[in-house]
Amino acid sequence: MQETKVAVIGLGKAGLPLAAVIADSGFEVIGIDLDPKKCEKINSGINPIPEEIGLDELVEEHGGKNLKAYPDYEKARDCQAYIIIVPLYIDETNNPDFSILESACRNVGRLIKKGDLISVETTLPPLTMEKLVKKWIEEESGMKLGEFYLAYSPERIMTGYSISRLREFPKIVGGVDEESGKRGFEFYKKFVPNLNLVSNARTAEFIKVIEGCYRDVNVALANELYKIAEELGIDFYEAREFANHEYCHIHLPSTGVGGHCIPVYPWFLIKEMEKREKFEHARLLRTARELNDEMIHYWAARIISECLNIKKPLSDVKICIKGISFRDGVKELYHSRNLALAEYLKAKGLNVFVYDELFSKEEIEDLGFNYDEPEKADVVFHSYDLRIERKD
Ligand SMILES: NC(=O)c1ccc[n+]([C@@H]2O[C@H](COP(=O)([O-])OP(=O)(O)OC[C@H]3O[C@@H](n4cnc5c(N)ncnc54)[C@H](O)[C@@H]3O)[C@@H](O)[C@H]2O)c1
Q: Is 261 a catalytic residue?
A: yes
Which of 8, 9, 13 is the pocket-test mutation for ligand 1 (most atoms within 8 Å of CB)? 13
208 a catalytic residue:
yes
Report pLDDT for 24.
96
Q: How far is CA 144 from CA 51, 134, 148, in A?
A: 42, 9, 7
- pTM of the predicted model, to two decimals? 0.94
- Euclidean distance between CA atoms 297 and 308, whole angstroms: 16
Q: Probe ligand 1: pick from 16, 38, 84, 85, max atoms within 8 Å of CB?
A: 85
CA of 87 to the centre of ligand 1 (A): 4
Look at ligand 1, atom 23, and give the residue with the nearest C-alpha: 12
CB-defined site of ligand 1, < 6 Å:
9-15, 32-35, 38, 85-88, 100, 103-104, 122-123, 155, 157, 159, 260-261
- pLDDT for 167: 86
Do strands 387-390 and 379-382 pair parallel, antiparallel, or not at all (unpaired)?
antiparallel
Residue of 38, 134, 208, 322 marked active site: 208
CATH of domain 208-291: 1.10.1040.10
* Domain extents in the chain: 5-199, 208-291
Beta-carbon contacts of 288 under 8 Å, excluding residues fewer than 6 positions away, are 216, 217, 219, 220, 221, 266
CATH number attached to the domain at 5-199: 3.40.50.720
Region label for 64, one of left (φ > 0), alpha (ψ between -120 and 50) or beta (otherwise): left
Task: Identify the segments of the chain with pLDDT beneath 50.
Answer: none
